[in-house]
């Protein structure tokens, strides 16, 4: 099944921290550092104390988002963007994934194995960078497999939520998130066996 794959990345402004050469006057930098410390030291201390006592008001959810009193941090505030690459999805047997098979996996909400075949010629720069980072993290964890065992490595295996886009049989645009994907094997450059926890359809 031909799809467009999307990986999230942090979109930041290169000039966000630029200041003019004369921004800090004599001793002004030291004063600003001290003011910042005095302003935030209690907040940092109390947060650490709350976390130690198990009563922190900040909770990191399974989806990686930070929650405070049940309110989700805005994704737009975090400036998360998506980069894309064309690709093909295949099922765990290596056959082309079908739309019916994909929808059946969504309906079952069960874990499954999928093969991603990425067309590097269509990859955006950020997608390629994020993919290389993911592969590097995967290889870094897997170097401990002999020492710490497969179970430990699998628990530490880096995860990504991968967004996919395709058209269904009615020619409607379908967007879905493949949640908590883990690289199980690298078949070839641009071809990966992936563990997928479940599928979530999105607007």
Beta pairing, strands 191-196 & 198-202:
unpaired
**Is residue 64, in this structure, part of any structural domain at all?**
no
Q: What is the pLDDT, as a whole number, of residue 97?
A: 95
Quote the pLDDT of residue 44: 60
Task: Give the model's pLDDT for residue 163.
Answer: 96
pLDDT at 146: 95
21 occurs within a structural domain: no
pLDDT at 36: 72
Q: What is the reported pLDDT for 20?
A: 57
Confidence at residue 64, expressed as pLDDT on a 0 to 100 scale: 52
Please state, in angstroms and rounded to a whole number, the distance separating the CA atoms of residues 72 and 95.
39
Strand ranges of the sheet holding 66-68, from the earlier edge strand across to the other edge: 58-60, 66-68, 71-72
Per-10-residue mean pLDDT, the chain, length 203: 91 54 59 72 60 49 48 47 94 92 94 96 94 95 95 95 94 95 94 96 88
pLDDT at position 8: 87
In a domain, 56, yes or no: no
The parent domain of residue 197 ranges over 2-11+80-202
pTM of the model: 0.67
pLDDT of residue 56: 44
Q: What is the pLDDT of residues 54-65, one digit of tens each?
A: 544 454 555 555
Average pLDDT, the chain: 81
Count of domains observed in the chain:
1
In a domain, residue 74? The reply is: no
């Amino acid at each position: 099944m031909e799809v467009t794959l999307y990986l999230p990345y942090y979109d930041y402004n290169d000039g966000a921290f630029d200041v003019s050469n004369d921004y800090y006057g004599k001793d002004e930098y030291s004063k600003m550092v001290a003011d910042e410390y005095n302003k935030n030291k209690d907040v940092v201390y109390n947060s650490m104390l709350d976390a130690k006592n198990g009563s922190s008001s900040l909770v990191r959810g399974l989806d990686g988002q930070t929650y405070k009193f049940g309110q989700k941090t805005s994704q737009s505030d975090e400036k998360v963007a998506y980069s894309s690459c064309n690709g093909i999805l295949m099922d765990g047997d290596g056959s082309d994934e079908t739309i019916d098979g994909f929808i059946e996996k969504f309906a079952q909400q069960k874990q499954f194995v999928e093969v991603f075949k990425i067309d590097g010629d269509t990859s955006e720069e950020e997608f390629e960078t994020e993919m290389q980072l993911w592969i590097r993290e995967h290889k870094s964890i897997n170097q401990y497999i002999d020492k710490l065992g497969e179970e430990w490595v699998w628990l530490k295996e880096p995860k990504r939520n991968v967004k996919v886009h395709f058209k269904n049989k009615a020619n409607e645009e379908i967007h879905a998130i493949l949640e908590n994907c883990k690289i199980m094997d690298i078949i070839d450059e641009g071809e990966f066996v992936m563990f997928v926890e479940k599928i979530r359809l999105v607007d």
